Homo-oligomer: A and B are copies of this chain.
Amino acid sequence: MTSTYNELVKIDKTNRGLANISERSSWDQETMMPSGAANQRSEETAALQEVLHERRINPRIGELLEKAVAENIKEKAKLKIIKREYERYKLIPTDLATEIARVTSEANWIWVEARSEDNFSKFAPILKEVVNLKRQEAAALSNDGELYNALLSSYEWDLKSNDLEIKFNAMRKRLVSLRNKISGSSVPQVKLNFEFDEGKQMKVANLIAKKFQFDFHKGRIDKSVHPFSSGSGSDVRITTRTNVGDPFNCFYSTIHEIGHAMYEQNISEEYFLTALGNGVSLGIHESQSRIYENQIGRSKGFTSWLFNVMRQEFGDFGISDEDQFYRLVNRVSQSFIRTEADEVNYNLHIMLRFDLEKSIISGELEVDDLEEAWNQRFYQDFNVKVKKSSNGVLQDVHWSYGEFGYFPTYTLGNIYAGCLYEELRKSERNLDSELAIGNTASATQWLKNNVQVHGSLYEPEELIEKTCGKSPTEEPLLNYLEAKYKDLYNL
């Protein structure tokens, strides 16, 4: 290792330490911060972001990058990522980065209030500011004038809106067709009508986390308005939420976030506080959260374990056996909330957001018209009318943080998860019987070895190719869904 390389890595390490603190400060804002501290917090957040941005565009990084020599594949990957990030950050003026931090910190808090009051017009003014700032950021980043692509690239390097559209259109066709068949099915829907103590829900959520190998010495679980995962290495924190009538909201949000958390906890320790020390992209991140949540968590095997755990904890809750329970967990219905959506409808929720946020960023759609546009589109896609904002445009946290371009990575994650699951099943022949006794070890170990441990060493598609022996497509996901629901609904 050259001294140039060492100096560069040292500067980078400090910046990543700061970024961790910044991320934990967001965690605090959503879990611990007193309600009256929002204004102060937005100033503090801005201060930290100003400093972090200045350090990220430190010209010394540019000088060192020109001279630094990588001596192996890991060093090469680190240099590539440091360079990519440096060149990206350099395009964003510090004042703009600071202002985005300040305004989104405040916007997040206003969103919490507006959501609890079901009042979009309370959120709209600050969302306008956020959109305006993110458009400025996109313009600064954009080479080709495609603002939305510039935003996408901060979550998934090289991802293009046009390619997503093609994929999404292909998926939509088969998903809608599947949904139509299901609604024509004569198999009766299983329904839940029971009150589930919220303290006990959290107890089960903690047990589930343990079953999925979450290391509580290196993380914690709390509650928040919107579930999320935060942190890396030895300090990874997830949140969930509870709803007395619907324990699956809590359990499957938990499993989803545990998927994210395991990715971060399982990254090779040697990558700690380096450019390889986080998940490589949001697409791959969501592949982990979604495969934990769906292919594993909603499988026949795992749900039979969960059924018995719930029977022990809550007593008879009106579901007679494992089979009925499996049908309940995988019931296809037109729900309002993305995070609670079944696997068939889920990607349609994403496509709605994708189209709306593209229009917002391009300027075709005004923030003031966003709620109406949401509700119209929702009716068109799901055939139900949104009656309150918290069931509609205010349900997700992302836009309050200015995270335009984040949503499509969920569907990308589903696509990657489809590929990984196809391969996992080939490799782990006893998967179903293991899951049925709550043993996720062979699945999680396989994901750890093939995906998680590598951190950012491989590019997203490269990682999937390496693991699955072919380029990722939506085929495995759609095949998996069609087979699963054919069985469930006797199609």
Contact = CB atoms under 8 A, between A and B. Distances in A.
B47 A218 contact: no
Interface stretch (A31-39, A251-259, A334-342): A31-39
A30 interface: no
A305 interface: no
A146 interface: no
Contacts of A220: 32, 34
B47 A21 contact: yes
A56 to B, nearest CB: 12
Nearest to A272: B40
Given A28-B28, A36-B234, A40-B272, 17 more contacts: A13-B43, A13-B47, A17-B48, A18-B44, A18-B51, A20-B44, A24-B28, A32-B32, A33-B235, A34-B220, A34-B234, A36-B217, A36-B235, A39-B234, A40-B233, A40-B273, A43-B273
A128 B140 CA distance: 51
A46 B21 CA distance: 11
19 contacts: A13-B43, A13-B47, A14-B50, A14-B51, A15-B47, A17-B43, A18-B47, A21-B47, A21-B48, A24-B25, A24-B28, A32-B220, A34-B219, A34-B220, A34-B235, A36-B215, A36-B235, A37-B218, A41-B235
Contacts of A25: 21, 24-25
A41 B43 CA distance: 23
A55 interface: yes
A46 B17 contact: yes
Contacts of A48: 17-18, 21
Contacts of A43: 13, 17, 273
Contacts of A35: 217
A216 interface: yes
A17 B44 contact: yes
A16 B36 CA distance: 19
Query: A interface, by DSSP: helix, strand, loop or mixed?
Result: helix
A239 B234 CA distance: 24
Interface string A41-76: 101101110110001000000000000000000000
A219 B32 CA distance: 10
Interface pairs A-B: 7 shortest CB-CB = A17-B47, A36-B217, A37-B235, A17-B44, A14-B47, A36-B218, A37-B234
Nearest to A55: B51
Interface string A209-233: 0000001111110000000000001
A36 B36 CA distance: 32
Contacts of A40: 20, 233-235, 272-273
Contacts of A44: 17-18, 20-21
Contacts of A14: 47, 50-51
- Centre residue among A18, A35, A40, A216 by max chain B CB count within 10 A: A40
Contacts of A13: 43, 47
B21 A218 contact: no
Contacts of A33: 235
Contacts of A235: 33-34, 36-37, 40-41
